[in-house]
Structure 1
Amino acid sequence: MKFDLSIIPTTYDTVHAALIATVAGLFFLQFLFLLVAWLALRKKCKPAEARLEPAPARPAAAEAPAPVVKTEVRTETVVVKEATPDAALQLLGLLQKEARFVDFIQENIGSYSDAEIGAAARVVHEGCSKVFKQHFELETVRSETEGNRITLPKGFDASAVRLSGNIVGEAPFTGTLVHRGWKVKNITLPKITEGHDVRIVAAAEVEL
């Protein structure tokens, strides 16, 4: 293909200069538009890229130690004391001495009449009463009159009050006082001489 170089203008007039300036301006505007569009697109894509990147590992914050709750478990130790028989044997000896108590208990009363048993019981009662008055100071557990209605609060002393009848639920309980109970306020037993055998509650008797 041959080009006719004669059609190429050798001189530029005002029209040609305007066309060249217009083309150059359009090219610059297009380049500027593309640059702005590229910057806007990059700025718009940055947050998405940031979300895809894993977050930098942060040092684990020192967790506050959980509060230590001290639970005090109370265990009640039941101490079982072995009862010594000396005081009981001494009391039995006193009852035998003053009321012939052991003789009365050991006697077979089936062959005696009610009148004979009543007469013997009177002697035993008088002797036992004498022993109790001399060596024991007694008082009632409850001060109310027998037959009255009383209320036992929650936490009442079960060793001092015995419940009977229809026991349902938990305290407080309301019922009729049948017996006021007894408790020993003071006890004074005579001293025992060393070597005395308290198991001998009644010495054998020999008449010469």
Structure 2
Amino acid sequence: MSDQSLPLLKRLLLAARAFLRIVQDREQAAAWIKIERQALLGRSTALADTPPDAALLLLSLLQKEGRLVDFAKQDLTRFSDEEVGAAARVVHQGCGRVLADYFRIAPVRDEPEGAQITLPPGFDPAATRPTGHLVGEPPFSGRLVHRGWRATEVRLPQVGTGHDQSIIAAAEVEL
């Protein structure tokens, strides 16, 4: 019997058992929230389909378009502030292209930075991180310092088999 053909009675019994476990055990409730969040991401985005080597692929794209690795590995003490600024502009533009081409990114919070907000009990600490002097239990009130960013879609290109993804940028030899 496939998971999709479970009879209604079995689904109701499963829901009742899950309900009781969630009510009785905070860890089970937290695990359920994580499972639900991952299921929602899988339905609404391509995040669930991202290949395991996606980090290396992304790094190679940032290197190709924005020379990010070259910039980060460069000893900048030898250069003037003007030269560093000019290089940063190239990195910024290229990396911005990668973000625009391969990701849909949205703010985590809709309020403008600087707005007073309240974090209710049960807020998601992965999405909103309180900083400063944290005392007691929520609700917490404070000033929004950064809206945060959330990937709502990932469209990384497919990589051919046999491609060594650990090669972020090939060595170049001028002949």
Q: What TM-score do you get using the length of structure 2 for normalisation? A: 0.72
1:185 is aligned to 152
Q: CA RMSD in A?
A: 2.1
* C-alpha separation in 2, matches of 1:84 and 1:133: 19
Letter of the aligned partner of 1:151 in structure 2? T
1:159 is aligned to 126
Letter of the aligned partner of 1:153 in structure 2? P
Residues 37-84 of structure 1 deviation map (CA, whole Å, 9 limit, x = unaligned): xxxxxxxxxxxxxxxxxxxxxxxxxxxxxxxxxx965353969xxx97
5+ residue gaps, structure 1 = 1-70
Matched, 1:114 2:81: yes
Matched, 1:132 2:77: no
More helix by share: 2
* C-alpha separation in 1, matches of 2:115 and 2:158: 42
Identity, % of aligned pairs?
Answer: 53
Q: Secondary structure at the match of 1:93?
A: helix
* C-alpha separation in 2, matches of 1:92 and 1:135: 12
1:24 is aligned to none
* C-alpha separation in 2, matches of 1:176 and 1:120: 34
* C-alpha separation in 2, matches of 1:156 and 1:140: 16
Max Rg structure: 1
Letter of the aligned partner of 1:175 in structure 2? G
> Structure with the greater relative contact order (CA < 8 A, sep ≥ 6): 1 or 2?
2
* C-alpha separation in 2, matches of 1:153 and 1:116: 47
How far has the Cα of 1:165 moved from its partner? 1.2
Q: Secondary structure at the match of 2:93?
A: helix
Matched, 1:146 2:83: no
Query: What is the number of residues matched between the two proteins?
Result: 135
* C-alpha separation in 1, matches of 2:174 and 2:114: 53
Aligned ranges 1:1-208 → 2 under 5 Å:
74=25, 76=28, 86-208=53-175
How far has the Cα of 1:206 moved from its partner? 1.1
Q: What TM-score do you get using the length of structure 1 for normalisation? A: 0.61
Residues 105-138 of structure 1 deviation map (CA, whole Å, 9 limit, x = unaligned): 1110011000000000000000000000000100
Letter of the aligned partner of 2:123 in structure 1? F
Letter of the aligned partner of 2:91 in structure 1? V
5+ residue gaps, structure 2 = 1-19, 35-49
* C-alpha separation in 2, matches of 1:89 and 1:111: 29
